[in-house]
Amino acid sequence: QLPLALMLSLLIGYITWLASATRMSFSWEINLGIAAREFEVFCQPLVRARDRHCVGVEILLRWNNPRQGWISPDVFIPLAEQQGLIAPLTRYVLAETVRQRHLFPASEQFHIGINVAASHFHNGVIIDDLRRVWFANRPEQQLMLELTERDALPDMDYRVVRELHQMGVELAIDDFGTGQSSLAYLERLHPNVLKIDKSFTAAIGTDAVNSTVTDIIIALGKRLRINLVAEGVETEQQEGYLRRHGVAILQGYLYAKPMPIADFPRWLAGDLPP
């Protein structure tokens, strides 16, 4: 009979092996998925609070994996970040979006928001990718990068931030208020936009603590003259509140769910501003 300690260590070894094998197969899956074009770029409209006129879109990635079905980005994006695969995925998103840009209004007033990971800023990789994949195609629309404060940038990468501003790329802090270092990040990133996370939008009229945070974020944006975008707007009550408090741009199921870019022109055609 094997001693208990040995059995335990064998068991732990097996579990560790299994975990790394699963991770391996996951990065394989992502690479395969890119090659096999299993990823699809969806877009969700951003509208002006005043009249619901569409002023842009956010691009959201979808993965239709033939072996596992639809996988949520909340699952595969964090894994891709851990595996160092986020830059190839973002390049794919940029390339697919720029390829389909003719389905969006050809105007610099129209904003296209792309989610990016802080790790993509190291050594200015993001700048090279934008030049090669995005600007080489001369899209007419205004590019905006959405960066979460979850993974704040290391010091040296702020040079990249300055260069992006000089290139005319707009920056948004995503999920604002949910991270740790909001205020320091705010000062260093000089963002054009603060995106109010949907958890704060959902709190309007229901949750006293979080709706106070919403009010403070709005006040902060106004004082610093940073444009505010609220995500996750689902009800007319939320829309009314945000509009009255001066949040100019709104995004959420009340206007449209994320859709394939191919469907966007039809959605826009039904969007008749008063």
Rounded to a whole number of angstroms, the minimum distance from the CB of residue 115 to Ca ion is 5
Q: Is 127 in the site for ligand C2E (CB under 6 A)?
A: no
Short-list 178, 174, 173, 167, CA closest to 188 = 173
Rounded to a whole number of angstroms, the minimum distance from the CB of residue 195 to Ca ion is 6
Short-list 240, 193, 241, CA closest to 221 = 193
Rounded to a whole number of angstroms, the minimum distance from the CB of residue 118 to ligand C2E is 10
Dihedral angle of Cα 237, 269, 60, 69, to the nearest 10 degrees = 100
Dihedral angle of Cα 21, 27, 30, 33, to the nearest 10 degrees = -60
Q: Is 258 in the site for ligand C2E (CB under 6 A)?
A: yes
Asked if residues 208 and 239 have their Cβ atoms less than 8 Å apart, the reply is no
Q: Which is nearer to Ca ion, 29 or 143 (CB)?
A: 143
- Residue 214 binds which entry of ligand C2E, Ca ion, none, with Cβ cut-offs from 5 to 8 Å by kind? none
Site string for ligand C2E, 178-197 (x = CB under 6 A): --------------------
- Residue 204 binds which entry of ligand C2E, Ca ion, none, with Cβ cut-offs from 5 to 8 Å by kind? none
> For residue 196, which phi and psi values (nearest 5 degrees)?
-75, 120
Q: How many CB atoms lie within 10 A of CB 190?
A: 13
The tokens for 34 are 């890119």
Rounded to a whole number of angstroms, the minimum distance from the CB of residue 106 to Ca ion is 15
Residues 206-245 that bind ligand C2E (CB under 6 A): 231-234
Which position's Cβ is nearest Ca ion? Answer: 146
Q: Is 72 in the site for ligand C2E (CB under 6 A)?
A: yes
